[in-house]
Chains A and B, each alone.
Chain A
Amino acid sequence: SYELTQSPSVSVSPGQTASITCSGDKLGDKYVCWYQQKLGQSPILVIYQDFKRPSGIPERFSGSNSGNTATLTISGTQAMDEADYYCQTWDSHTFVFGSGTRVTVV
C-alpha cells in the first residue's frame, strides 16, 4: 500500500518561514493536498492540487510537489499557524494521509 512520510515536528520563530515536507514514491505524479488541524478542532483544507489555496486561506500558505517530495511552506509564520499539518493523496481508490507534522511557533 502507498505510504506518505512526514517529519514529526517543525519549530519556527514568528515571522520566519516554515517548510513541511511529505515524501512518497513518485509523489510528484500524484496530486497532494494539505490540512491544518488545531488542537481540539476538525481539519481544514489549506492547499489542494499541489499548490492551490481554497478561498479564505491566507497567501502565506503555499505548496509544491515534484519528484518524491511535496512541500507546504508557511511564509511569515504567525502564532495562529501553530497546528498539526497533514499531507494527503489518493492511490487506487484509497485515500492516504501522512503521519502529520506539528508546527510550533516559538
Chain B
Amino acid sequence: DVQLVESGGGLVQPGGSLRLSCAASGFNVSSNYMSWVRQAPGKGLEWVSVIYSGGSTYYADSVKGRFTISRDNSKNTLNVQMSSLRVDDTAVYYCARVVGSWYYFDNWGQGTLVTVST
C-alpha cells in the first residue's frame, strides 16, 4: 500500500527556516512526480511545489525563491526547505503523489503543521 508520512513541522519565527520531510512507502519517490500542497487554517488548498521524475522543479509564485523542493532517493523521501518564512506561510503542509501526465494527486499524507509566529 502507498503511504506518505510528513514530519518536521513546528513553530518558527518570521524570517526563520524549516525543513519538512515526507517518507514514502509502497512506491519509489524517484520515479514519480511528487508535490507539496498547503492549507492555511480555515482556508482552501494551495499548491506549493512539484518535482518531476526527471528532476525538474516548479513553484507557486507565493514561495518562489524561498522554498526548495528536493528528494532523497536513498531514503525514499521528499523534502522541502523553507526559508524567509512569513506569517502567511502558516499552514498544514501535505505531501502528495502526482499521477504523471494527468497531473492529479492520487495519494496524500496526513499533513504537518507549520506555524510562523513571534
Residues of chain A at the chain B interface (Cβ within 8 Å): 1, 31, 33, 35, 37, 42-45, 48-49, 54, 84, 86, 88-90, 93-100
Give the residue name and chain of the A residue nearest to B105 (CB).
A45
Within 8 Å by CB of B45, from A35, A45, A48, lies: A35
A95 & B47 in contact (Cβ 8 Å cutoff): yes
B45 & A97 in contact (Cβ 8 Å cutoff): yes
Q: Can you offer 14 A-B residue contacts whose CB atoms are under 8 A? A: A1-B61, A33-B104, A35-B45, A42-B110, A44-B108, A48-B99, A49-B104, A90-B104, A93-B58, A94-B58, A95-B35, A95-B50, A97-B37, A97-B44
Q: Number of B interface residues at 8 Å Cβ cutoff, please give it.
A: 21
List residues 37-63 of chain B with CB under 8 A from any CB of chain A: 37, 44-47, 50, 58, 60-61
- Across-interface contacts of A94 in B (CB, < 8 A): 47, 58, 60
Alpha-carbon separation in the docked complex, A37 to B111 (Å) = 13
